[in-house]
Amino acid sequence: MPRDTIVLLGVNHKTTPLAIREKLALTAGYEEPLRALGQLEELREYYLLSTCNRVEVLFTCRNVERSRARVLELLFANAVPKEELDRHIYQYLNDEAVEHLFLVAASLDSMIIGEAQILGQLKEAYRQAAKFECSGFVLNKLLHKSFSVAKRVRTETRIGASAVSISYAAVEMARKIFGDLAGKRVMLVGAGEMAELAAEHLVGQGVAEVIVANRTLQRAVNLARCFNGRAVALEELLNQLEYVDIIISSTGATDLILHKEDVRSVMRERRNRPLFFIDIAVPRDLDPAINDLDNVYLYDIDDLHNVVEMNKSERDKEAVKAQRIIAEEKLKFSKWLSNMESTPTIIQLRAMVENLVRAEVEKSMGRLDGLNALEQQGLEKMVAAITGKMLYHPLHYLKDDNHCISQQDRINIVRTLFQLDTRNDDQDGS
């Protein structure tokens, strides 16, 4: 019987503009969508990843077309019309899905190639899926593999070392606007990890003060302490705009927190001193029209990407090396995957048992060529019979379709029991 197909559906920063991505992002956390996916009987195993730059769902199923339609309907139908969704979404099957996941984990598909955050996000997504028991045998193996691939890429190439992060791009833009950053004030709105990173870079450039505004004041206070800054409540945002120069916004708010008119009124009080807004939240926090105001510059995450693109070429060399590692790992995994079908296991098992029996027979009978043809035939028969009898139950167990344990689990049990995977490596290279 054929094995389940691994399907990966998703949108990322390359295929989809931010305006669509922010509608698709699973802002409410993983629990609810994972539960909803659990209702679909088409899916065997599944997991979800939602970050600033991508929303991806990975699952195994029998009928790809039907599962795809149902998953998309379930997750995204409310957010974006179907035709539009179809234009942006990509779909990878089996090997391609594996490769894509590895690329994502190794941060080769990131907006900023080589940034380390994605691996953490991937692990968190997997942890959630595992918590609700959504991932099974194949996905567990696949995701664990993707973590180790990411690690391998990171240690064997310099891709992480020369990574130019979003935050670095933000600093570069700030320098193009303000020239010297000494004496400038930065405000973080929302205490996200990305914002923290950007603030760290800016502090490195000598900014005078870091102000943190957050919905929960306690977190703001904690973060502000890291930068020797001060914390304010989110409600004070507008008042603070008069004093700060760079605003990094990364709240989880679903609506805009700052509109064009708010900023326009502030500019008068600022005597038109420039303001630089960086919106790294998805969905966006800041009204895109803010950019139309004089002396106000608004960059969202896609725009920063363009800045990053400009100094990318150096990292491309390391990316080639990383691609090779991924191609290698993909091959290994697809070999493992093909072992998951029962036929190779049966053949392997048969071969292994037969070899064992034959070896024992040979040992006890001494040299076999002393026998005549008839005796030899008899021995062959005996070897075949013992093999057949020994394997009857395991094979039955493998082939039977009415088990409460899934076939893949059964294959795995048999393979573990007979140590097929460890033996396999040193016996044949096929």
Partner 1 sequence: MSFLLFQASVVIYLLSVAAYLVFFLTKKAAMRRVGRAIFLAAFLVHAVNIVARYIEAGHTPITSHHETISFFAWSLGCCYLSFRWRYTVKNLGTFVSILVGALMLVAAFSSREMLPLAPALQSWWLPVHASITLIADGFLALACIGGIMYLLQEREIKTKRFGLFYSRLPSLEALDKLNHHCLSVGFPLLTLGLITGSIWAKQAWGAYWHWDPKETWSLVTWFLYAAAVHQRFTVGWRGRRVAILSIIAFLSVLFTLWGVSFLLKGVHTYAS
Q: Which of 46/178 has CB closer to partner 1?
A: 178
Amino acid occupying residue 406: S
Q: Which of 154/184 has CB closer to partner 1?
A: 184
Under the rule (CB under 8 A), what is the footprint of partner 1?
173, 175-180, 271-274, 291, 294-295, 297, 299, 303, 306-307, 310
Q: How far is the CB of 228 from partner 1 (least distance, A)?
A: 25
Q: How far is the CB of 196 from partner 1 (least distance, A)?
A: 24
- Phi-psi region at 272: left, alpha or beta (left = phi > 0; alpha = psi -120 to 50): left
Q: How far is the CB of 254 from partner 1 (least distance, A)?
A: 25
End-to-end CA distance of the chain: 21
Catalytic positions are: 52
Separation in Å, CA 196 to CA 172, 212, 227, 249, 284 = 16, 10, 9, 10, 17
Q: How far is the CB of 256 from partner 1 (least distance, A)?
A: 19
Separation in Å, CA 112 to CA 200, 270, 271, 280 = 17, 34, 36, 13
Separation of alpha carbons 149 and 428, rounded Å: 24
Q: How far is the CB of 173 from partner 1 (least distance, A)?
A: 7
Q: Which of 149/248 has CB closer to partner 1?
A: 248
Exposure class string for 397-426: b at 16+ Cβ within 10 A, else e? ebeeeeeeeebbebbbebbeebebeeebee
Tokens of 278: 């960086």
Beta bridge partners of 247: 187, 277
- Phi-psi region at 239: left, alpha or beta (left = phi > 0; alpha = psi -120 to 50): alpha
In sequence order, which residues have a C-beta less than 8 Å from that of residue 216 and are 6 or more positions away? Answer: none
Closest by alpha carbon to 136, among 47, 56, 57, 5? 47
Q: How far is the CB of 184 from partner 1 (least distance, A)?
A: 10
Q: Which of 102/178 has CB closer to partner 1?
A: 178
Q: Which of 92/276 has CB closer to partner 1?
A: 276
Q: Which of 64/177 has CB closer to partner 1?
A: 177
Separation of alpha carbons 413 and 393, rounded Å: 13
